[in-house]
Structure formats: C-alpha cells, structure tokens
Amino acid sequence: MSYSIQEVIPRDVDKVLINRANDTGTVYVVGAGLAGLSAAVSCVLKGYRVQVFESTNHAGGRCRSFKDKILGRTINNGNHLILSGNLGVKEFLASLNTADNFKAMHPVLFNFQDIINNESWSLRPSNGRIPWWIFDPSKRIPRTSFIDYLALLKLKFAKDENIAALVNPSRPIFDRLWQPLSQAVLNTDAHEGSAALIWTMLSQTLLKGSDACRPMLTTAGLSAALVDPAISFLTTNNATLKFSMKLKSLDKNNDKIGSINFNEQAIALKEKDKVILALPPNEISNLIPDIPTPTKTNAIVNVHFRLDDRPILPNNAPFIGIIGGVAHWLFKHDDIYSVTVSAANYFAEKSNEEISKIIWKEVAKVIGDDKRELPLFRVIREMRATFAQTPDENNRRPDSRTKWENLFLAGDWTNTGLPATIESAIVSGQKVAEILYK
C-alpha cells in the first residue's frame, strides 16, 4: 500500500495490529540506517513486534546530522537531494506524519554554473510529462540542440550498457547533463554508470514533469527530518532499539537461521521470528559469503565551510551544480556551505588541507569572491559511500529474500531496481515488510 504525502498516519498503531505480533513472532532488524529504520517502521505498521540493533552509538547511517565542533554548527554528514517523485520517501514521511519537515522548492529550478567558461543556466522542467523545454533554445542547456536529447529514447531501452555508450560523449551536453547526472545519482562516472538505472530515475522524476522532480529541502537537517521521527515512532509503538550491538555471526540450521549472535548477546530465534539484515554489502559478505553482493565501491567527499556573512548563491538558489571543477554540487544551509564530490576515490586520498583548498577556490568563484581567504572547514569522507553503479555491479544486487526462509535483506544496494539513494534505502525496507506480511 502506498500513502500520499498529505495522508496522516496516527503515531500510535492500532492495538489490534500490535496484538497480531503474538501470532507472527518478532522481527529482528540489524542495522539502523534508513533501510533498517524503514523496515522497522513498516513492520510495526503491519503489526509485528520489532527489535532494532545498531553497531554504532547512533542511528541514520550515512544519512544523519551531528554537531560539529570545528564549525560550531549542526551539519549533515553529506548532501542528499530528495525529489517529490520519490514515492518511497513520501510514504515513509506519511507514516511518521512528518512531511512538514521538508520544504518544497517553488518554482522547480536546477541551477548550474560552468566555472571554466563562466556560463550559468537553469534547467526548468515542464509542468507536464512532455518536456517542452527541450524544444526551446532559450530553455535548453547552453550549447545543446534538440537532437542531443533524443538519447533519452536509447536510455529507455537500456539493459547492460553504460551511459556514455548511448549518448555522445563529445557533445557539450555530456559534461553539462549526463556526467553531472551520473555522478549525482549513481556516484559513478558516466563512462561506467548504468544507463538503465539513470533511466529509472529519469522516468520517475524529471520525465514526469515539475511536480515529480521538485526538490524537497530539509528545514532542520537530515536527522531531524528522517531519523529522529522514525526513532520516536518506534519507541512510541513499543519497538526496542539497542545501540553498540555488533552482529558477529548467524547460526544456520538447514533452511532457517537458528540464532543471531551479537558482541554482548545471542538470540535464539523462535519458530515465527524473522531477521532483516540492513547492513552494507561488505558486512553481508563477511557474515554470509553465500550471498552475492556488489563488490566495487565509490567514495564521496563532502566539504563544509562556514561563512558568517551568508553570501547568496547565483539566483539566490539553495543549491547549484558546478560544471568544470572538482566540486559537483554546492548547497547553502544558512551560514554553512556544503560541497559534494562524487565518484571521489582518487580525490578522497588527498589530505584535508589539500581537499579544502581545491574546493574553496571553486566555491569562491561561484559566490563571486575569488580573493576571500579559506574559512573554517570540515572534510568528511565516505570511502564506501555506495557500490559502483555499473551494469555489472548492478547485476550483482541480491533480492530481499534469501535461501533461508526467515532471513531477509534491506539496503540501498539490494535489488530495488533503483539507484543506490535514500529512496532505494527506504523502498528496500518497505519491500521487505510487504514480503513478510504476505
């Protein structure tokens, strides 16, 4: 079942559903990132008794906020762009009654600045499904023609091709649209990124018109918008969460898991109990080598700067795509300016000082102040931010079900059919709950 973002789901789940847990056993969710939280919330809504275990001392995984001592501000560990066409996220928010934690962008504009050629433009999606803007030279990306956009027809039928194989890499549109899109959505260079995954994203957002690709910006950070409401919902509805609980092993008995063994506790599973592993693929491989997983990963580097005078971005935009530099996206959150560099395996090996100086020069160009000195900064590396979303690695994504009837998988890297984003993580948890419920 899907909910619209306007629907209100009561925070206290119906007691009839809670009582159903007596007949269905307990669902043990291992991992409290967004995939695990989504699975837990969805299972509670379906009447299951739920326990969540997390190896660290916090929830949220790669999608969270924290108080940074260097900047003296609460910052997100990374930049994540949620769009109005992300139906899994919308269902999650409706379940928690927290849609007002996001502010929809009006009008829909995706601003870009080419810092090499000193050009700027805005991509303005059409209101309906027909992308009228590609027929208007004044609305198209500069130096592109109508013919450049016909590559969308090739992407629609993509299977195991990379993006560069289906579009013309020598055309300006490659560096101004396809490459930024691949880096942002797939965290993978367009010469390697899966064309099929990009098509899935486009077909659910941009190609449905502005109402489906409207940026949804958090009003108070990722934790306040997504993580904290989920924890509150779970605790209010009698689910338990335990932190600093590292899963060490699972005992397998023929076609079922017999027990799950943590660093401080072993749990023998009863007949109707279920286990959902919402862990990164490398951890799954270590625990259960029998399960195939993507093996190649790509890093993401985020650099946060504090600018007390709060200079505005071009067009007073809340975020902007940077073309021609190392940086890919720049987001403004009050006096914090956060930059994302995707597919950053090589760049992530540099020192914090090198990274900050390189990125600051590009940010200074965007805000129109080349002479400004390097401000306070914080560099955050996610060395295994996502799996490398190539056609080959995409084919290695496992399904939610496993060969053990009481063991299931969740995570943005599982076979959701979506790029490995917040949407995929949340959908994976919802998908598992649907499977358990049938």
Quote the CA–CA distance of 186 and 194 in Å, as a whole number. Answer: 8
Taking CA atoms, 28 is separated from 87, 135, 175, in Å, by 25, 53, 45
Secondary structure letter of residue 344 according to DSSP: -
Quote the CA–CA distance of 79 and 58 in Å, as a whole number. Answer: 19
Supply the pLDDT for residue 4: 32
Residue burial 93-126, b: 16+ Cβ < 10 Å; e: rest: bbbbebbebbeebeebbbbbbbbeeeebbbbbbb
CA nearest to 48, candidates 39, 59, 56: 39
Long-range CB contacts for residues 264-271, cutoff 8 Å, separation at least 24: 267/28, 269/28, 269/406, 270/25, 270/26, 271/25
CA nearest to 346, candidates 387, 305, 392, 383: 383
Supply the pLDDT for residue 1: 31
Supply the pLDDT for residue 264: 84
- The count of residues in the chain is 438
pTM of the model: 0.93
Name residue, tokens 């650099």.
Answer: 303
Quote the CA–CA distance of 146 and 160 in Å, as a whole number. Answer: 26
Supply the pLDDT for residue 438: 75
Tokens read off for 269: 């599973």
Bridge-partner residues for 121, per DSSP? 112
CA nearest to 129, candidates 225, 241, 206: 206
Per CATH, which fold does 15-101+218-293+397-437 belong to?
FAD/NAD(P)-binding domain (3.50.50)
Asked if residue 169 lies in contact with residue 191, where contact means CB atoms within 8 angstroms, the answer is yes
Quote the CA–CA distance of 235 and 213 in Å, as a whole number. Answer: 33
Phi then psi for residue 185, to 5 deg, are -90, -40
In the structure, how many helices (H) and strands (E) does the chain have?
Answer: 14, 20
Provide the residue type at 413 as one letter. Answer: W
List of residues 6+ apart from 13 with CB closer than 8 A: 44, 45, 47, 237
Q: Where are the domains of the chain?
A: 15-101+218-293+397-437
Supply the pLDDT for residue 22: 55
Supply the pLDDT for residue 98: 92
CA nearest to 166, candidates 180, 175, 156, 181: 156
List of residues 6+ apart from 153 with CB closer than 8 A: none
Supply the pLDDT for residue 128: 87
Beta 319-323 vs 110-114: how paired, if at all? Answer: parallel
Supply the pLDDT for residue 18: 45
Secondary structure letter of residue 178 according to DSSP: I
Supply the pLDDT for residue 20: 52
Quote the CA–CA distance of 46 and 163 in Å, as a whole number. Answer: 40
Taking CA atoms, 72 is separated from 68, 69, 338, 374, 377, in Å, by 6, 5, 14, 17, 11
Supply the pLDDT for residue 355: 98
Quote the CA–CA distance of 115 and 313 in Å, as a whole number. Answer: 13
Three-class SS state of 282: helix
Supply the pLDDT for residue 183: 97
Supply the pLDDT for residue 130: 85
Burial (CB count <10 Å: 0-12, 13-18, 19+), residue 142:
middle
pLDDT along the chain (438 residues), means of 10: 33 46 84 98 97 97 95 94 96 94 93 95 90 88 94 95 97 96 98 98 95 93 96 97 97 94 94 97 96 97 98 95 97 97 97 98 95 96 97 98 97 98 98 92
Three-class SS state of 216: strand
